[in-house]
Structure 1
Amino acid sequence: MENLTLEWISVGLITCLAVISPGPDFAMVSKIAISTGRKAGLLCALGIGAGVTVHLMYTMLGLGLLLSQQSWLLSAIKIIGASYLIWLGMQAFWPDLKAKFWPSSKAQPITDDHPKRLPSSKRALTKITSHPFVIGFICNVFNPKTMLFIVALYSQVISKDTGYLVGAGYGVFIALAHCIWFALIASVFTGQYFKQHIIRYKGFIERTCGAIMMAFGLKMISLN
């Protein structure tokens, strides 16, 4: 019983420290919440929690350690995740670049009045991939640091003698910790104080978050 209590404390502390440490998820949620609103930020937080759940599921099935030992798979995950982060980060600079280099081009919204703008299948795909939940999910699923963190937690901190239900309980806690923390971040950046005092710097903060996401992406590639 005492060992189990110590294990819970260890898992709790390590998880909290890992969650609150600055990373691409933090920059992404901040950017989405500031640019799109609280609802979008909360959906992104849920997407991150769903991505963490995927890592937890294959780790608890015993596949996590096996996958983490496949260098080619880790490299592929790094490249995909890094490319996605860089692409997302570039979106913060795209309006300014477009206005500077293509001032005469005016973006037309995709509505029923412009049915030929994109094929329906492409419009549907764009709508899905640009959804805050999907962005949060993809970014976390292809984050090798999250994968290695969870694998290390279940292989080095959590005892092999720990029951399946207790292990599942750890997983629920880890996923909820991610959801709650990033939901809190989204709420802070869309709160009344932020709107009253910091909203004037909205564009600067968005670009800063975008630059941070690109930096994390480039760092992931350089470590490949």
Structure 2
Amino acid sequence: MLNIDQFELYSVAIITFLAVMSPGPDFAMVSKVSLLKGRRDGILCALGISAAISVHLAYTLLGLGIMFANNLWVLNTLGYLGAMYLIWLGISALWPDIKALFSRTKPKQANESLKIEKPSQNKLSRNSSAFWSGFACNALNPKTMLFIVSLFSQVISTDTSLLMELGYGAYIALAHFIWFTLVACLLTSARIQQKVLVFKIWIERATGLLMTCLGLRLLIN
């Protein structure tokens, strides 16, 4: 029978809850995918974010997390990669307008962007894209790395069993999935989607600008 430290258990639960709900790149990514591609893709993006927790958990349990956290170049490298990824996503969303600006052609209108895709085409690539977008966003997020490393080094005791640590990791991943699935479902409700149909192109521009700004902020800091 597992010897469970109640204080440790509640601490992990509360800290994880607060960390997951704090706004950041993951929230921006799920919001973008959900609003522009729909509920299914939003949930797949949430699943990708949840799966990426296993990457941070793996190197933390192997003892590499503290070494990474104590080496500034590792944090800087991870931060630069994450920042460049967000900037790339932001520019990709803004690219039709950038291209139209330089070529003096009319940018794609909202009604043109709402054309229904054939179910037989690009379904697998869309699902894969939504999942890996979420996965990469979380895996390259230095804040997630510091959160998990700090949690396992400062809150979770060294006497805690490996099975219990894996349980904590599963809880953290599940918390991410549940929260961002709720975000995806909320943003794809009928009432929200009716407004999205009208302002879709502006939402894409706004999220593209937001991701670019987040990336630049990470790059500068």
Moved over 3 A (4+): 103-107, 127-130
Decide whether aligned partners of structure 1 residues 195 and 104 sit closer, same or farther in structure 2, where only a CA change above 3 A counts: closer
Match of 1:58 in 2: 59
Instruction: Please report how far the alpha carbon of residue 96 of structure 1 lies from its aligned counterpart in structure 2 after TM superposition.
Output: 2.0
**Is 2:220 aligned against 1:219?**
no
Aligned to 2:93: 92
In structure 2, what is the equivalent of residue 162 of structure 1? Answer: 160
Which string of whole-angstrom CA distances, capped at 9 and with x for unpartnered residues, describes residues 146-172 of structure 1?
001000000001111111111111000
Q: What is the CA-CA distance between 1:130 and the residue it aligns to?
A: 7.3
Separation in structure 2 between the aligned mates of residue 128 and residue 34 of structure 1, nearest angstrom: 15
Secondary structure in structure 2 of the residue aligned to 1:162: coil
Aligned-CA RMSD value = 2.5
Normalization by structure 1: what TM-score? 0.83
SS in 1 for 2:93: coil
- Within a 5 Å distance, the mapping from 1:6-21 to structure 2 comes to 6-21=7-22
Contact 1:24 1:212 survives alignment (8 Å): no
Q: Deviations over 1:27-82 (max 9, x none)?
A: 11111111111111111111111111110111112111111112111111111110
Post-superposition shift, 1:2? Answer: 9.8
1:133 aligns with 2:131: yes
Report the TM-score when normalising by structure 2: 0.84
CA distance in 1, matches of 2:127, 2:73: 26
Unaligned 5+ runs, structure 2 = 109-124
Q: For residues 50 and 26 of structure 2, what CA distance do their matches in structure 1 show? A: 11
Alignment of 1:6-155 (within 5 A): 6-103=7-104, 131-155=129-153
Q: Mean Cα displacement is larger for which, 191-200 or 167-176?
A: 191-200
Taking structure 1 as reference, are residues 130 and 170 closer, same or farther at Cα in structure 2, changes over 3 Å only?
Answer: closer
Deviations 1:158-191 (A, max 9, x none): 1111111111110000001111111111111111
Alpha-carbon distance between aligned partners in 1 of 2:3 and 2:62, rounded to the nearest angstrom: 26
Q: For 1:51 and 1:23, locate their aligned partners in 2 and report how far apart those are by CA, in whole Å.
A: 15
Asked if the contact 2:96–2:107 (Cα under 8 Å) also holds between the matched residues in 1, the reply is: no
Contact 2:47 2:134 in 1 (8 A): yes
One-letter identity of the residue aligned with 2:151: L
Q: Could you tell me whether the CA contact under 8 Å between 1:25 and 1:140 is conserved in 2?
A: yes
Given residue 184 of structure 2, which amino acid in structure 1 is its aligned partner?
A: A
Displacement of 1:104: 5.3
Question: CA 1:95/1:129 → structure 2, altered by over 3 Å: closer, same or farther?
Answer: farther
Matched residue type, 2:76: S
Letter in 1 for 2:39: R
Equivalent in the alignment of 2:121: none
After the TM superposition, which residues 174-213 of structure 1 pair with which residues of structure 2 at under 5 Å, given as runs?
174-213=172-211
Q: Does the CA-based 8 Å contact 1:24-1:213 persist in structure 2? A: yes
Aligned residues: 205
Q: Determine helix, strand or coil for the equivalent of 1:151.
A: helix
Which whole-Å deviations, capped at 9, do the CAs of 1:85-141 have from their partners, x for residues lacking one?
01101222112222333255999xxxxxxxxxxxxxxxxxxx599711111111111
| Sequence identity percentage | 50
